[in-house]
Amino acid sequence: MTMRLCVFCGSSSGSKPIYVEMATCLGKALAENGIGLVYGGASVGLMGAVADAVLANGGEVIGIIPQALQEKEIAHQGLTDLRVVRSMHERKALMAELSDGFIAMPGGIGTLEELFEVWTWGQLGYHAKPCALFNVEGFYNGLATFLDNLVEEAFVKSNHREMLIVEDDVARLLTAIDRYEAPVLTKWIKSSE
Ligand code: AMP
């Protein structure tokens, strides 16, 4: 069965060329490793760049876009498979179901929301799939520090914090995803705590 990874990323391209360059680099690496891409189906921003790179290198791309966003995000017309769904909830559920792991590249609020949703599902043991940040040029350093603070302040357990892979290099990112083992989550809620 084809392995597929879901990439969450900006519907914008960001301020620096490196963001598009790294989206292209990730897309190329996915295709070269025979890994299919699942993503939000847009042709714009980093979303378009990662999809274009997978396709240009002979890979498979499944895009999932809600009807209402089809025009706004300009649905990509060259995908292996474009699925138009009714709602954002349906989009996220299908992206999660079809994917064996999740990568967030630089992006905005939508990207963060998508990443945190799948990570919380992992924390609850709904799935055992890896969640990762592709930390292009330290884009997510501030977030990583904030997440450490959540552990410091005893709102997040360190094994749940450690579930999130953070890598700034595509090869290391894909290796970490490949080696990921979900923590054993029994007793994660303790009435005494
Ligand atoms: P952004 O990171 O805001 O550029 O958005 C990246 C992708 O996330 C786009 O395809 C957005 O449609 C999507 N998105 C935006 N808001 C949400 C949300 N609340 N839930 C899920 N996806 C969203």
Model confidence pTM above 0.85: yes
Nearest-CA residue for ligand 1 atom 10 is: 40
Provide the percentage of residues in the chain whose pLDDT is more than 90: 91
Is the pLDDT assigned to residue 166 strictly greater than 80?
yes
Q: Judge contact between 67 and 92, C-beta under 8 A.
A: no
| Average pLDDT value for the chain | 95
Is the pLDDT assigned to residue 14 strictly greater than 90?
yes
Q: Judge contact between 39 and 8, C-beta under 8 A.
A: yes
- At residue 192, the pLDDT reads 45
Is the pLDDT assigned to residue 191 strictly greater than 70?
no
Closest Cα to residue 104, out of 129, 135, 76, 75? 135
Q: Judge contact between 46 and 9, C-beta under 8 A.
A: yes
pLDDT digits (tens, 9 = 90+) for 106-161: 999 999 999 999 999 999 999 999 999 999 999 999 999 999 999 999 999 999 99
Q: Judge contact between 6 and 99, C-beta under 8 A.
A: yes
pLDDT digits (tens, 9 = 90+) for 32-49: 999 999 999 999 999 999
Ligand 1-lining residues (CB < 6 angstroms): 10-12, 40, 42, 69, 73, 88, 92, 107-111, 113-114
162: left (phi over 0), alpha (psi -120 to 50) or beta: alpha
Nearest-CA residue for ligand 1 atom 22 is: 110
User: What is the fold, at CATH topology level, of the domain defined by 4-178?
Assistant: Rossmann fold (3.40.50)
DSSP string, 157-187: -HHHHTTEEEESSHHHHHHHHHH--PPP-TT
User: For residue 184, how far is its CA from the centre of ligand 1 (angstroms)?
Assistant: 30
Nearest-CA residue for ligand 1 atom 19 is: 110
Label residue 2 by pLDDT band (50, 70, 90): confident
- At residue 184, the pLDDT reads 82
User: For residue 129, how far is its CA from the centre of ligand 1 (angstroms)?
Assistant: 21
Is the pLDDT assigned to residue 101 strictly greater than 90?
yes
Label residue 186 by pLDDT band (50, 70, 90): low
- At residue 187, the pLDDT reads 46
